[in-house]
Structure 1
Amino acid sequence: MGKKGFDTKQKMIEVMASLLEGSGYEATGLTELGKETGTPKGSLYFHFPGGKEELTSLAIEYSGKQLNDFFLTIFDNSDTPTHAIKQVFHALEERIVSSDYQKGCPIATTAMETAGKSPLVSNACKEVYNLWLKTFESYLSSNGYNIRVAKNLSLSILSLWEGALLLTKLQKSPEPLRMAEKTAESLLKQI
């Protein structure tokens, strides 16, 4: 595949990632993707012989890696785990509010819609969550938390943020994210 083909494929992955975050798997159609990317439907099957499921799994992986890289940047630029987690929550709040409550977690909606229906997509979602958990665990353990505590904190913080994003989106208010941030901060300080 030449550079133009690679660029087209990458563009389709990135646009699909954005569409999934805003609308979810079921509401994201291939016609819409074609309009957004300026490519015919046949291009989808040329680049993604597995169709919508293959494209979705790659879009999920792309979104997950993008957000993971963002976490790593925050961690590298934070003095303490408490500061880092506060920065993560602030960034999530800014992201969802600036999108007029359209964007939340780039994975959650698709994960819920495809659980038990599409093993390929569900596995991609699972792998992204595992990546994020490992990133948080590694960061916390490198900052003095023992491995078991780092693992428990990572799962708790991820659960807090996912639930808060959902409620923030539904209520069109940043308050759930702000409360979850305070809870995450308390968890980090208690241990």
Structure 2
Amino acid sequence: MPAHAKHRDKIVRAAAVLFRQNGYAASGTNDIVALSGAPKGSLYHYFPRGKEQIAEEVIAYAGELVRATLARMCAEHASPAAAVRAYGTALAGWMAESSYRDGCPISTILLELAPESETIAEAGKSAFATWENVLATQFAAHGIAPARAAGLASLVVCSWSGALIRARAARSGEPILCAMEALACQIDAAVLEAASKAAGTPG
């Protein structure tokens, strides 16, 4: 990897950690440079619009990580409900490993910047849409009608955000596991209902 790309990526990854743990406003550019180990001049070279441009890149970076993880889990599990449970278990584990300091870098950025920045809001909408699309595609592949699949996917993504906040406050992964189990049960029921309708039997 070229040195310039390495510095750019280090800055984005460091900002993702800081935004996730401390929030956007509380994470200064000096903090980002210090954690990244990149030369300070490279921050302004690659991000001439400053910290807000870094935030846009963090949303894209974190959004792709989540999308890829979801796609992998959907491929690895026989049912969409199992994939949702597995992702919940992974989230709970990651939170515990961080001593419940972590959260979602997309959520922290959007809470602070989206009301004033259309660019940030659009980046967040795009990230959420890619996550929902992975889930909705998997749900539909198991017979759930597209509209219901999209609705369930949106519910799952919305629930993650709330569950992460509850887990951080409780210093426990239990809120995440409980939320994902409840959603998995809904997804299982939707798959069974779709299978019954396809077979022409009462749902």
TM range (shorter): over 0.9
Query: How many matched pairs?
Result: 190
Once the two structures are superposed, the pairs formed by residues 26-45 of structure 1 within 5 Å of their partners are: 26-45=25-44
Q: Is the 8 A contact 2:80 2:139 kept in 1?
A: yes
Q: Is the 8 A contact 2:10 2:38 kept in 1?
A: no
Q: Offset of 1:164 from its aligned partner?
A: 0.8
Q: Deviations over 1:9-56 (max 9, x none)?
A: 111111111111111111111010111122343321111111111111
In structure 1, give the amino acid aligned to 2:105.
P
Once the two structures are superposed, the pairs formed by residues 176-191 of structure 1 within 5 Å of their partners are: 176-191=175-190
* Residue identity (%): 26
The alignment partner of 1:79 has SS state of coil
Report the counterpart of residue 109 of structure 1 in structure 2: 108
In structure 1, give the amino acid aligned to 2:137.
S
Report the counterpart of residue 63 of structure 1 in structure 2: 62
Partners of 1:39 and 1:149 in 2: how far apart? 46
| Structure with max Cα Rg | 2
Q: Offset of 1:106 from its aligned partner?
A: 2.8
Report the counterpart of residue 135 of structure 2 in structure 1: 136
Say if 2:161 is the partner of 1:162.
yes
Q: Is the 8 A contact 1:71 1:88 kept in 2?
A: yes
Q: Is the 8 A contact 1:95 1:104 kept in 2?
A: no
Q: Which runs of 5+ in 1 are unaligned?
A: none
The alignment partner of 1:107 has SS state of helix
TM-score calculated relative to the size of structure 1: 0.94
Partners of 1:175 and 1:37 in 2: how far apart? 32
Partners of 1:176 and 1:38 in 2: how far apart? 35
Q: Offset of 1:177 from its aligned partner?
A: 1.1
Q: Which runs of 5+ in 2 are unaligned?
A: 191-203
Q: Which moved more, 1:143-152 or 1:170-179?
A: 170-179
The alignment partner of 2:48 has SS state of coil
Report the counterpart of residue 94 of structure 1 in structure 2: 93
Partners of 1:175 and 1:14 in 2: how far apart? 28
Q: CA RMSD in A?
A: 1.4
Runs of 4+ in 1 over 3 A off after TM superposition: none
